[in-house]
């Protein structure tokens, strides 16, 4: 113990006698703190200055004028909103070319171009299937990698705003029509009006659900696998006789809806008649419903027959024509049975027969819309026949490909739309059914009040509500005031390690045995380490004091932060000192390599789950993660015994350092002295 104290006293006297040595020591204890403070300050609030990031925006939107003469330009509205934004420097460009060239030149980090049909598609997508409103995004990844992440976030926020506006338009127009319907319900029989409205709504929803099924079935045809070259080779041109595939598809979908609506109406009429026949209440109304259902089936049969004629005219031998005529025949059969139903003696059997026909028609209707493969095959057959009589006409291949592409785009848009609308339609249908049940027994005035409460309302209010239906409440857990405070643990720990590296680079770890009485290796080890320990503790204290008082980082437990810094300095200085003392210059290289590995893979910046697998497997075998986690506990708040647990793991590395310095060092002592002597002989190292 005496020799240990003598080594330390000699070191202190040597430093105190030399002004330049004292100046060097002052520099040693201050440099690590500057490293930590400058890095923490540079990361203090980087996302608070994103207003300097420039993104160009150009609107090509031509706007839309509705049937009332009201002009709307959603593209201009978006640009106007962006002009007021401060989080990003949105620069309005005069044209798409100017915006794009600005990105190429590096004037902008990114550019957003709004399509010319933006507003028109927003107002007509659900009625004319015009496609989705589109924006084009250009980004310059070369200029700065991090900036592109910020611009991506800005554009995603812009897309969310546009989607909210889109939904606001759709819901607003829907509720406008609902208000008009509510205003028109002024007839003398509000009870019948309410019933009729809800039954129509139920039929419409059933038809919508069936239409979704039909479109989903049609989408399985594999239009994307269509070989346009084969079609172009088979025919040369029949452009003038080419059937309008989009209109055929639209009509088929409309017929699907009509079939299912009519079947629902007939099914409901049968149920109503069956119930009325049992208790003789509402029999007159039930007979009227049967008559209306029979008339609807007759009209549907006529429409289906006309559709079959059209299919045979354009698509020779198409299987859908025969299927359509079969469904039409079932319509007429069901019409006759419904008309004769009130006069039947065995009502239950007659009603059962009608329901069987309805079930059969439902199965047949699911196959009505031609699949893309069927339509393609029939087009090939027809075009092959007509092409032999129109050899001189050119350009059919391009038209056919355009039809194919349009169908593919429509199918893709429908898939996404149906996926969103299906759950809502199902829930709405169930809600309408439940409402119909609840209306039983209400008075006439109560019926009208219910109807007006449902349909009345401000379309703009409804639009704003549905565009943001979900209210999100954020509850921060262990909140941090700023990004600098969040990065303080990493840069503080890194600075303490850098301080240890500076110490072994300037102060020799080997203690001289001059004036000592039979010194042992361990006495020389601890005698010189005391100086390293004191200087490392001063370094850590200065770093943490500056974090708290100079930078004013968030810290809920300052005392525990000082303790964590002190134990971190102890562990790091002891580990670095032992490695350099035991392995010499090789030990210094090991210290640098360990530092580099921990900077890259200690989870101090990015979550460890985002790093390559090699870092995820080895990072826990280094001291950085435990020191960083302990300091995070002090800054953000304690959880159970996690703070003590991390410090305990950290001190295991201190124990490992003692083993290296006291035991593992011994076999290498002679080799290290030999290497040091040879290096000194070179007068270079």
User: Tens digits of per-residue pLDDT, 644-684?
Assistant: 999 999 999 999 999 999 988 887 777 776 776 766 666 55
Domain end residue (candidates: 175, 200, 218) = 175
pTM: 0.56
256 belongs to a structural domain: yes
- What values do phi and psi take at 54, rounded to 5? -95, 130
Same domain, 258 and 347: yes
> pLDDT under 50 in the chain at which residues?
180, 186-188, 221-243, 245-246, 316-317, 371-373, 375-376, 379-380, 382-383, 385-401, 403-404, 407, 452, 455-459, 461-470
- Show the 3-state SS of 471-527: CCCCCCCCCCCCHHHHHHHHHHHHHHHHHHHHHHHHCCCCCCCCCCCCCCHHHHHHH
Assess whether 563 and 590 both reside in one domain. yes
232 shares a domain with 334: yes
Last residue of a domain, one of 154, 175, 196: 175
Tally the domains of the chain.
3
Range of the domain at 371: 188-440
Q: What is the CA radius of gyration of the chain?
A: 41
Is 389 among the domain residues? yes
- Are residues 19 and 64 both part of a single domain? no
Contacts of 282 (CB under 8 A, 6+ apart): 272, 275, 276
Q: Is residue 414 part of a domain?
A: yes
Give the HSE-up count for residue 483: Cα atoms under 13 Å, Cβ half-sphere.
12
Query: Quick one: 626 and 531 in the same domain?
Result: yes
Judgement on whether residues 421 and 501 belong to the same structural domain of the protein: no
Residues 543, 402 share a domain? no
Query: Same domain for 64 and 30?
Result: no
Residue 326 within a domain: yes
**Domain co-membership, 274 together with 351:** yes
pLDDT value of residue 228: 43
Q: Does some domain include residue 449? A: no
Cα dihedral across residues 204, 208, 213, 218: positive or negative:
positive
DSSP string, 235-265: -S--GGG---HHHHHHHHHHHHHHHHHHHHH
pLDDT at 439: 57
Backbone angles phi, psi at 258, to 5 degrees: -65, -40
From residue 232, give the alpha-carbon distance in Å to each of 26, 192, 223, 383, 396. Answer: 85, 58, 16, 10, 7
- Do residues 579 and 591 make contact, with C-beta atoms less than 8 angstroms apart? yes
Which one of 390, 407, 440 terminates a domain?
440
**Helix or strand or coil: residue 683?**
coil
How far apart (Å, rounded) are the C-alpha atoms in residues 345 and 261?
Answer: 29
**DSSP conformation class of 609:** G
What pLDDT was estimated at residue 375? Answer: 46
Residue 450 covered by a domain: no
In a domain, 472, yes or no: no
Q: Are 103 and 111 in contact (CB under 8 A)?
A: yes
Check: CB of residue 168 under 8 Å from CB of residue 150: no
Confidence at residue 422, expressed as pLDDT on a 0 to 100 scale: 60
Which of 658-661's residues contact partners 24+ apart within 8 Å by CB, and which partners?
A: 658/574, 658/578, 660/575, 660/578, 660/579, 660/582, 661/525, 661/529, 661/574, 661/577, 661/578, 661/581, 661/582
Cα separation, 88 vs 108, in Å, equals 11
For residue 85, what is the domain's CATH number? 3.40.1710
- Asked if residue 459 belongs to a domain, the reply is no
Q: Are residues 170 and 200 in the same domain?
A: no
Residues 611 and 642 in one domain: yes
| Same domain? 28 vs 138 | no
Q: Do 50 and 87 meet the contact criterion of CB atoms below 8 Å apart?
A: yes
pLDDT at 392: 40
Indicate the pairing of strand 54-59 with strand 89-92.
Answer: parallel
């Amino acid at each position: 113990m005496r020799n240990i104290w003598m080594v330390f006293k000699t070191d202190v006297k040597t430093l105190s006698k030399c002004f330049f040595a004292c100046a060097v020591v002052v520099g040693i204890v201050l440099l690590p703190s500057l490293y930590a403070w400058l890095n923490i300050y540079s990361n203090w609030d980087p996302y608070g200055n994103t207003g300097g990031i420039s993104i160009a925006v150009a609107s090509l939107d031509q706007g839309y004028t509705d049937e009332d003469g009201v002009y709307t330009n959603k593209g201009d509205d978006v640009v106007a909103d962006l002009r007021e934004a401060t989080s990003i420097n949105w620069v309005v460009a005069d044209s798409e070319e100017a915006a794009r060239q600005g990105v190429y030149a590096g004037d902008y980090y990114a550019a957003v171009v709004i399509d010319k049909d933006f507003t028109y598609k927003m107002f007509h997508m659900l009625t004319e299937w015009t496609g989705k409103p589109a924006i084009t995004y250009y980004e310059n990844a070369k200029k700065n990698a991090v900036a592109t992440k910020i611009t991506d976030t800005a554009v995603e926020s812009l897309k969310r705003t546009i989607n909210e506006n889109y939904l606001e338009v759709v819901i607003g127009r829907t509720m406008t029509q609902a208000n008009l319907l509510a205003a028109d319900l002024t007839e003398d029989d509000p009870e019948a009006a309410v019933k009729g409205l809800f039954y129509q709504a139920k039929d419409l929803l059933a038809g919508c659900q069936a239409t979704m099924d039909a479109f989903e079935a049609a989408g399985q045809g594999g239009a994307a696998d269509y070989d346009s070259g084969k079609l172009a080779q088979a025919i040369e041109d029949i452009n003038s006789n080419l059937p309008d595939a989009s209109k055929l598809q639209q009509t088929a979908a409309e017929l699907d809806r009509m079939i299912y609506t009519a079947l629902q109406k007939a099914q409901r009429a049968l149920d109503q008649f069956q119930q009325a026949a049992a208790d003789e209440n509402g029999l007159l109304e039930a007979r009227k419903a049967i008559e209306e259902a029979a008339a609807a089936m007759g009209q549907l049969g006529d429409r289906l027959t006309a559709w079959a004629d059209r299919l045979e005219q354009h698509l020779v031998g198409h299987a859908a024509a025969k299927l359509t005529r079969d469904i039409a025949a079932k319509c007429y059969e069901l019409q006759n049975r419904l008309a004769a139903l009130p006069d039947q003696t065995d009502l239950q059997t007659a009603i059962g027969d009608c329901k069987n026909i309805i079930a059969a028609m439902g199965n047949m209707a699911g196959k009505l819309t031609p699949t893309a493969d069927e339509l393609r095959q029939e087009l090939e057959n027809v075009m092959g026949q007509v092409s032999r009589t129109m050899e001189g006409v050119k350009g059919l291949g391009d038209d056919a490909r355009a039809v194919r592409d349009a169908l593919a785009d429509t199918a893709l848009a429908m898939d996404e739309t149906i996926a969103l609308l299906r759950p809502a339609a199902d829930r709405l249908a169930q809600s309408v059914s439940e409402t119909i049940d609840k209306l039983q027994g209400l008075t006439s005035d109560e019926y009208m009040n219910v109807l007006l409460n449902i349909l009345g309302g401000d379309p703009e209010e409804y639009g704003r509500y549905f565009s943001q239906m979900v209210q999100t409440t954020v509850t921060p857990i262990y909140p941090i005031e700023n990004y600098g405070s969040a990065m303080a643990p990493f840069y503080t720990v890194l600075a303490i390690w850098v301080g240890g590296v500076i110490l072994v680079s300037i102060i020799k770890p080997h203690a001289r045995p001059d004036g000592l009485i039979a010194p042992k290796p361990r006495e020389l080890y601890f005698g010189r380490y005391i100086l390293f320990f004191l200087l490392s503790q001063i370094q850590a204290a200065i770093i943490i004091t500056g974090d708290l008082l100079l930078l004013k980082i968030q810290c809920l437990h300052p005392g525990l932060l000082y303790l964590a810094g002190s134990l971190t300095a102890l562990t790091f200085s002891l580990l670095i000192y032992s490695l350099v003392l035991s392995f010499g210059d090789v030990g210094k290289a090991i210290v640098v390599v360990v530092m580099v590995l921990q900077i890259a893979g200690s989870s101090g910046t990015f979550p460890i789950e985002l790093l390559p697998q090699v870092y995820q497997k080895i990072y826990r075998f280094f001291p950085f993660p435990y020191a960083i986690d302990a300091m995070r506990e002090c800054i953000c708040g304690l959880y159970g015994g996690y703070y003590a647990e991390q410090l305990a793991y950290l001190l295991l590395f201190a124990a490992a350092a003692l083993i290296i310095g006291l035991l593992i060092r011994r076999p290498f002592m002679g080799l290290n002295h030999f290497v040091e002597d040879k290096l000194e002989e070179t007068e270079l190292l």
